[in-house]
Amino acid sequence: MKAIKNLTLILCLVFLVGCLNYSSTKNFKKLDASVVKIDDSTYPVVIIGGGFAGLTSSIYLSQGNIKHVLLEGTIPGGAITASHSVCNWPGEKNISGIDLANKIKEHAISSGANIINAQVNSVDFSVWPYLINIKENNQDKIIQALSCIIATGATANFLDIPGEKEYFGHGVSKCATCDGPFYKEKTVAIVGGGNTAITDALYLSNIAKKVYLIVRRDTLRASGKQTDTVKNKSNIEIIYNTNIKKVIGDNNKVIKLEIFNNKNNSTSELNIDGMFLAIGAKPNTELFKNKIDLDEQGYILTHKNQKTSKSGIFACGDVCEPEYKQLIIAAGDGARSAMHAQSFLAKIGFSTPNTNIENNVQDQAQKITPEKQDVQEIAPAKKSVPTKNLTQKSQTFGSVIEVTDEQQFAKEVLNYKGKVVADFYAHWCFPCKMMHPIVEKLAKELNTIKFIKTDVANVEILAQIWGIRGVPTFILFENGQEVARFSGGRDEVAFKQIINEKLNN
Query: CA angle, corner 108, sides to 357 and 132, nearest 5?
Result: 70
C-alpha span between 271 and 98 (Å, rounded): 33
Catalytic residue among 148, 179, 423, 429: 179
Which DSSP category does 241 fall into?
S
Catalytic residue among 148, 178, 316, 320: 178
The question of whether 218 is a catalytic residue gets the answer no
C-alpha span between 159 and 469 (Å, rounded): 20
Asked if residue 213 lies in contact with residue 230, where contact means CB atoms within 8 angstroms, the answer is: yes
| Amino acid in position 394 | S
Contacts of 18 (CB under 8 A, 6+ apart): none
User: Residue 437 to residues 46, 120, 328, 464: CA-CA distances in angstroms?
Assistant: 25, 20, 31, 26
User: Residue 432 to residues 106, 127, 186, 253, 456: CA-CA distances in angstroms?
Assistant: 21, 39, 23, 21, 12
Q: DSSP per residue over 333-389, as a string?
A: HHHHHHHHHHHHHHHTT----SSPPP-----GGGG--PPB------PPPP--S---S
The question of whether 12 is a catalytic residue gets the answer no
CB 432: neighbour CB atoms within 10 A?
23
Asked if residue 161 lies in contact with residue 281, where contact means CB atoms within 8 angstroms, the answer is: no
3-state secondary structure of 87: coil
Asked if residue 47 lies in contact with residue 73, where contact means CB atoms within 8 angstroms, the answer is: no
Catalytic residue among 12, 99, 148, 175: 175
The question of whether 178 is a catalytic residue gets the answer yes
Distance of CA 304 to the CA centre of its chain: 28
Please report which helix (H) or strand (E) contains residue 401, including its range.
strand 400-402
3-state secondary structure of 249: strand
CA nearest neighbour of 96 among 77, 83, 107: 83
CA nearest neighbour of 156 among 177, 134, 137: 177
- CA dihedral 260→488→200→469, nearest 10 degrees, is -80
Q: Which residues are catalytic?
A: 175, 178-179
